[in-house]
């Protein structure tokens, strides 16, 4: 799914730092960078990546998110990577026998927004691909984040985990309406244009005898109008429908040219 518009610059509040503790594969770090940029996160910290740093395989997997990799910081320990942060959330898929708050990504996102509004620096910590964070790492965090998933198969790869938690953070600020029209498809037809089409269609159907018997005509007309209203057709689409009527009647000439919109 591609929808990148590089001409747009979205103003987002400062996001949490993403900390990868002992990541194993360069390509996974690259995919994490891509997931971060998808969600408006830009600060990446790496604690002892197994295959070293920088990584050509990470750059190849980043798919345009090189800015995240180029500014990534390298640390020798988890303690050093989180030293300047006031709040740290550690992701884990299982309980660790510690007395520590456990939240969903959605709840973590709300809390992270609150922390950012208060001027506090925050971080999201993720463990190695094979085993996740060890208890010593989690002990350094204030809160654990667990993603609700199918308990019979809750395994996530590193980039998936970052994307799920990062997307929850993004949605906590996002104001995209849940439903809208694609205005790039053209302006919706006016009611006058729709009524003109309705009347033309109904006249043709009267002529063919479709709207019969007379006592059922009003309900049939309402059904047809309601059906087309639900479509929210554009001006171009209404013109195409006029062309369909012309074509079905077998007319030639000027009227038929309207079918192209």
For residue 175, the model assigns a pLDDT of: 84
Buried b (16+ CB within 10 A) or exposed e, 29-57: bbbbbbbbbbbbbbbbbbbbbeeebebee
Q: Would you state the pLDDT for residue 131?
A: 86
In a shared domain, residues 167 and 187: no
Q: Determine the pLDDT at residue 35.
A: 97
181: confidence class by pLDDT, cuts 50, 70, 90: low
Q: What is the DSSP letter of 189?
A: P
Residues 233 and 159 in one domain: no
Any idea what the CATH number is for the domain that residue 89 is in?
A: 3.40.1280.10
Domain boundaries, position 240: 183-260
**Claim to verify: residue 148 and residue 124 sit in the same structural domain:** yes
What pTM did the predictor assign? 0.73
Is residue 187 domain-shared with residue 166, that is, in the same domain?
A: no
Residues 148 and 195 in one domain: no
Question: In this structure, what DSSP letter does residue 142 have?
Answer: S
Total structural domains in the chain?
2
My answer on whether 74 and 193 are in the same domain is no
- Do 12 and 173 meet the contact criterion of CB atoms below 8 Å apart? yes
Contact by Cβ (8 Å): 96, 137: no
Q: Does residue 113 sit in the same domain as residue 187?
A: no
Residues 243 and 125 in one domain: no
| Residue 11: inside a domain | no
């Amino acid at each position: 799914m591609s929808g990148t518009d590089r001409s747009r610059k979205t103003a987002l509040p400062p996001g949490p730092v993403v900390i990868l503790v002992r990541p194993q594969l360069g390509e996974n770090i690259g995919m994490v960078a891509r997931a971060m940029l998808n969600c408006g996160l830009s600060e990446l910290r790496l604690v002892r990546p197994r295959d070293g740093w920088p990584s050509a395989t990470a750059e190849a997997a980043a798919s345009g998110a090189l800015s995240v990799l180029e500014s990534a910081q390298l640390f020798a320990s988890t303690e050093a990577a989180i030293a300047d942060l006031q709040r740290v959330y550690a992701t884990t898929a299982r309980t660790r026998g510690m007395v520590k708050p456990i939240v969903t990504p959605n709840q973590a996102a709300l809390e992270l927004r609150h922390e950012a509004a208060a001027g506090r620096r925050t971080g999201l910590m993720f463990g190695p691909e094979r085993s996740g964070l060890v208890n010593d790492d989690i002990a350094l965090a204030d809160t654990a984040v667990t993603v609700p998933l199918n308990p019979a198969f809750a395994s996530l790869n590193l980039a998936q985990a970052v994307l799920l938690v990062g997307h929850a953070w993004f949605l906590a600020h996002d104001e995209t309406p849940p439903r809208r029209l694609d205005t790039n498809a053209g302006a919706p037809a006016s009611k006058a244009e729709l009524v003109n089409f309705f009347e033309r269609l109904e006249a043709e159907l009267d002529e063919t005898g479709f709207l019969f018997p007379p006592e059922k005509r009003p309900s049939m007309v309402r059904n047809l109008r309601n059906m087309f209203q639900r479509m929210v057709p554009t001006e171009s689409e209404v013109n195409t429908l006029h062309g369909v009527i012309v074509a079905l009647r077998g007319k030639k000439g000027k009227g038929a040219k309207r079918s192209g919109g």
